[in-house]
A and B are shown apart, each in its own frame.
Chain A
Amino acid sequence: MTRTKKIVSFYDYSLLFAVLFILGFGLLILYSASSGRGDMEESAMSYLRKQGFFAVGGLVLMFGLSHLLDYRFLRVLALPGFAAACGLVLLTAAYGAASHGSTRWFTIFGVRFQPSELVKFTLIIMEAREFSRLGSQVNSKKSLRQPLLLAFFPAIFIAFSNLSTGIIILGIFSLMLFVARKEYKPFFYLFLLLLLLYLAAYPFAVLMEKCHIMHGYQLMRIYAWKRPLDPRYVSKTYQTVQGLYAIGSGGIFGRGLGESLQKFMMPEAQNDMIFTILCEELGLFGAVSLILIYLFILYRLYDIARNAPDLFGSFLVIGVMSHIGLQAVLNIAVACNQIPNTGVTLPFVSYGGTALVLLLLEIGICLSVSKQTKLELR
């Protein structure tokens, strides 16, 4: 190495390859999980083809974003983007109400599009802009109002039709806020509260029923979660139980790729429950491998965020990190029946074009941040 000072732009290839790897891995599992259903509808390859199309499109966008554009231009786009996303959510809801049914979908250019996904994406940018704008002012209570409202309004609105997305939006915001603010205490209390809720939900439900304050059907969701094999809740827990069967029967090394039987039993095998199919086919080994890739991606994002050239970049990456981490954890927790069933998809793996493209765009932003990180080599 020369001792001359040389400024090298840093591009995080580790993250890039980790993402490429998880994408390929995801497509493989998706193909296996969806072939049965795909064959019934069109052809065994149909789901893979569609997802592959989005993956390629997403990758192109990702490279374009990370190489050609500086992430800082997002500062300008943040507000209009966020506003547009919220507008779309409202529009979809209005349309849904008009046609007497709640809906999460929005079709544009023949592609079904989930506006709530776009809200997650734009919220990260919006909040990053807010926090970076506020700087150290973020610690004052007064200045906190705006970012809080920005997150809570869409989150609560979305939660009506799509609880899990609302929760994730709030989760991302909470984690970003946690980093931004100096204090620990309120977050610690929040954490304790959530933990208590998690642990006490079932005993509380039982107590409520015993005291005849609430009826069984009102507590269905909690009962179904804690007693998945109870025949009373079969219709609610079918997916969960089949998922547990899949995980349990996979063993340490699984049945082998393509050997899953449960994919024929689960209507959402290629979607929310894809992790169980992975467990069935590749066993604990496959599950741990996937988790390690997620952890590695999270670590890379942590590293990029730490070394980002400005606060905006850092918060962008923190937002993306929270997004990916939360979704992965929640999805796997649902698959293991550690939390009640919510419709969270597994990042990079589950079927869904909008989510995949937006995730890749987020990665593109992070790569762009990493690219702006200047290294001084001695």
Chain B
Amino acid sequence: MKKSRSTEENSGQEPKLLPLYMQQKLFLILLFFLLLFLYLTFSIYQTIRGNGQDYQRMIRSQRQAHYRSESIPFRRGDITDRNGTVLATSQAVYTMILDPKEILDPEQPYHSATVAAISKILGDETEQVEKFLSERSGKRYARYQRQLSFEDKERFDQFKEAENQRLKKLWAKQRREQKKSKKEGEEEKLQQIGGVSFELSYKRNYPYGSLACTVLGFSSGDGTSGSGGIEQYYNDKLTGVNGRKYGFLDFDTKLQSVLKDATDGNNIVSTINYNIQSAAEKYLQEWQVDDVGSKMAAAIVMDPNNGEVLAMASTNRYDLNNPRNLDPTVYTDQKLREIGRKKLVEGFRKNYPDQGSVTDAQVLSQYTEDELKTAGQKAVWDQLWRNPVVTDSYEPGSTVKPFTLAGALDEGAITPNTVYECKGFIQLSDGTHSWKIQCHNRDGHGQLNAEQALMESCNIYMLDAAFAEGKEKFAKYQHLFGFGEKTGIDLPAEVDTSGLVYSADALGKTTLATNSFGQNFNVSMIQMAAAYCSILNGGSYYKPHIVKQIRNSNGTVLQDVKPELLRVTSSVKSCDFLRQALYQTVEHGTGQPAKIQGYKVGGKTGTAQKLPRSEKNYLVSFCGFAPVDDPQILVYVIVDTPNKEGEDQASASFATKIEQKIMNDSLQYLDIPPEGKTDPKNSLNESLSAQPEGINREGLGAGEESGSAAESSSEEESKKEGPGDESLSGEGGADVPAELPSSSENAESSRAETESGRSREESSSGTKAAESAASAR
């Protein structure tokens, strides 16, 4: 500037070469530009001042379309068995998202290259991709293909990158060549792959298909809810929180990108032992398919020392990966409609009991064929998906006898040496009525002490012991052992049996008698198993549980489920006695098929006649444990209605044999040292021709002293019916002893089920007390 100033100085002194008018005009040009620039500056200022905010908003809305908010899904936690075998897991799958508008935009270089890439990587026809795109040409978001694996996505991404580089280079080369050859005209268009993105989601996978199906349950497609089992009960632990990725333009139209990572769900370690679970399912299936089979059979394996469930299985099986898939050969449309019809009529009768005049046909006329089918499907699913071990209740039969003895022993009503005589029957009378209750051995067991009574499963001894104990104490012990109460196991839909057990006040003489050997009150398998565990471990009643540990997605332990001691049920002395007595039961008594060479096994059989008694259906069971001196495993098996005719069903050995096999495998899986020489054949192939625990045919009277205190609730939820109350109200009549005629067997089954009071009356008039005695062996 210094020099320029000096030029200015010069100009004043020396005449310029440029004529004055030119200088003036030159200055005018400079001024002209200056004014123009000033005007433009003003105009820029106007644009900013007048419309700045509006334009910001326009830009924001214009750009916003480019930043789609994206949800990042959480991963539902895994469920593993106690040793880490994965039973349920979530696999990452990707959905290919296309932006048809962008891809088809002729201004964009994406069309042909992208279509080619999709068809190359996914193997789809080019026409198919083109069709998909053209059908959605205006859309910006279209799910092209779901459930691509991570490998597919990687393959596409890698191909896209390489191909885009290659196309770019090719294009640049073509351009250079075009320039060199001085060709003018239309430029070769750049081709690129684009407008494709992937969305992550998770797919629930159960690697072992139907294994432990009723324990695990299944989750919904999006992984936010579970149906049945652990998936349902622990849903809030398994689910996480979705993350979110979104870009937005803030007030200053700065791009803000926000990424909130998803919180993955927790992993659940269950107490299930994969091997034992498989064994249980295998043997149940073996029984169901290759052997006699039954309406339903179920098993539970527990650790008596802490209430952990090692296996829980039933013959209700379905594929967890495809829970709604019904075998079309078994469940034809015809059959489904039939089931649907039945279900709908039942539902109507239940909801409108006073609408007796409406016929079934009238009820069904409201539904279309499809609705009938849907109702049938639902009914079948409900049946398939239910977990009989916790949801179903039934009359247990003789397996409760140890609890009767435990109560009587602890209360001092009897001692192990107390002797009662079994004459094969007993006559109970209140003065006006009398019942004859029979033991399964019609000839009588003669003189028995407590241990022998258990070994022989003598009903008369139990009844005498219960009478000696009194009804208050008997009822107290029922509750101590958890009957009539929920165990609180961590599985959904546990049956509420509180209405299916007599209170002390309602216990009449006959009901006390029948309750003492396991008839006329309902239990669930989990109640039975938990109660047995308390006797086996010396009287500690642990809350049964199926989840051992909850870990977060990184594997950090969040919660260790410790054994929860709820109460003490029985004295150590009584428990020791009972253990030995149950050992003797297997060694020399009714439970001999449960023997395993090399191990000391104890256990108790049970045979219960089901309601309605007239149908002569039985539920047989066996609860075994080993080793006797320090029980490590408890296996409880029930077989509901074996596929045999009438009294042929009543053989507890059906259940005992299954139990024996499960126990044998479990002992080996848990590496429990044998106390003697084991059978090299694992005793699995041993033909178990133990003496039958069948029903004494002669003992099978046609009737029953009183109707059911409870119903076999496997069909319906016991809660809703409240049969306990009804049965109690009907008890007054039943309490009136009478020599019941043995002729009539006309109790109508349907009525007996729905109207227990009436059924009781009918059955009391037409049945003999002996039946229950016979059935409860």
Using a CB–CB cutoff of 8 Å, the interface residues on chain A facing chain B are: 10, 12-14, 40-42, 95-96, 99-101, 103, 105, 107, 110, 112, 136, 175, 178-180, 182, 244-252, 255, 259, 261-262, 264-265, 279, 283-284, 287-288, 291, 294-295, 298-300, 302-303, 305-311, 314, 318, 321-322, 325, 328-329, 332-333, 336, 338, 373, 375-377
Contact = CB atoms under 8 A, between A and B. Distances in A.
Query: Do most interface residues of chain A lie in helix, strand or loop, or is the interface mixed?
Result: helix
B6 A377 contact: yes
A299 B55 CA distance: 35
B7 A110 contact: no
Given A110-B176, A255-B254, A375-B6, A310 B41 contact: no
Interface in B24-66: 25-30, 33-34, 36-37, 39-41, 43-45, 47-48, 50-52, 54-56, 58-59, 62-63
A303 B7 contact: yes
Which 9 interchain pairs have the tightest Cβ spacing?
A: A248-B55, A325-B33, A245-B55, A248-B51, A249-B56, A179-B25, A336-B43, A302-B30, A329-B36
Contact of A329 (B28, B40, B59, B176): B40
Nearest to B35: A329
B3 interface: yes
B116 interface: no
B361 interface: no
Contacts of B3: 10, 12-14, 375
Given A95-B184, A322-B29, 10 more contacts: A248-B54, A249-B56, A251-B52, A291-B37, A295-B37, A303-B4, A303-B7, A314-B18, A329-B33, A338-B43
A376 B13 CA distance: 11
Given A12-B4, A329-B36, A265 B62 contact: yes
Contacts of A248: 47-48, 50-52, 54-56
Interface string B324-364: 00000000000000000000000000000000000000000
B16 A306 contact: yes
Contacts, number: 162
Contacts of A322: 29
Nearest to B194: A40
- The interface centre, meaning the residue of A279, A298, A307, A308 with most chain B CB atoms within 10 A of its CB, is A307
A261 B55 CA distance: 12
Contacts of A107: 179-180, 182
Contact of A247 (B28, B30, B44, B180): B44
Given A12-B4, A336-B47, A376-B10, A112 B184 contact: no
Contacts of B27: 302
B719 interface: no
B255 interface: yes
Nearest to B58: A245
B37 A99 contact: no
A13 B3 CA distance: 9
A244 B52 CA distance: 9
B578 to A, nearest CB: 82
A288 B23 contact: no
B29 A318 contact: yes
B29 A321 contact: yes
Interface of B: 1, 3-4, 6-8, 10-11, 16-19, 21-23, 25-30, 33-34, 36-37, 39-41, 43-45, 47-48, 50-52, 54-56, 58-59, 62-63, 168, 172, 176, 179-180, 182-186, 190, 192, 249, 252-255
A264 B767 CA distance: 92
B37 A329 contact: yes
B42 to A, nearest CB: 10
A309 B17 contact: yes
B337 to A, nearest CB: 59
- The interface centre, meaning the residue of B7, B21, B26 with most chain A CB atoms within 10 A of its CB, is B26
Contacts of B36: 329, 333
B182 to A, nearest CB: 5
Given A259-B254, A284-B45, A295 B40 contact: no
B48 to A, nearest CB: 6
A305 B28 CA distance: 13
Nearest to B107: A267
A124 B17 CA distance: 20
B40 A249 contact: no
Contacts of A259: 254
B696 to A, nearest CB: 92
B59 A261 contact: yes
Given A284-B48, A308-B17, A261 B63 contact: yes
21 contacts: A10-B3, A14-B1, A14-B4, A41-B168, A101-B184, A103-B184, A179-B25, A247-B44, A248-B56, A261-B59, A261-B249, A284-B44, A287-B41, A305-B26, A306-B26, A314-B17, A314-B22, A336-B44, A338-B39, A375-B6, A375-B10
B18 A333 contact: no
- The interface centre, meaning the residue of B45, B47, B55, B252 with most chain A CB atoms within 10 A of its CB, is B47
A299 B27 CA distance: 9
Contact of B52 (A105, A175, A249, A302): A249
Nearest to A102: B184
Contact of A333 (B40, B168, B252, B254): B40
Contact of A288 (B1, B21, B41): B41
A99 B11 contact: no
Contacts of A375: 3, 6-7, 10
B5 to A, nearest CB: 10
Contacts of A112: 179
Nearest to B179: A107
A229 to B, nearest CB: 9
Contacts of B16: 306-307
Contacts of B183: 99
Contact of B59 (A245, A298, A305): A245
Contacts of B55: 244-245, 247-249
A101 B63 CA distance: 36
A99 B54 CA distance: 46
A294 B41 CA distance: 13
B313 to A, nearest CB: 60
A110 B56 CA distance: 42
- The interface centre, meaning the residue of B44, B45, B63 with most chain A CB atoms within 10 A of its CB, is B44
Contacts of A321: 29-30
Contacts of A305: 18, 26
B25 A178 contact: yes
Contacts of B192: 40
B480 to A, nearest CB: 75
A259 B249 CA distance: 12
A302 B26 contact: yes
Given A287-B44, A295-B33, A99 B253 contact: no
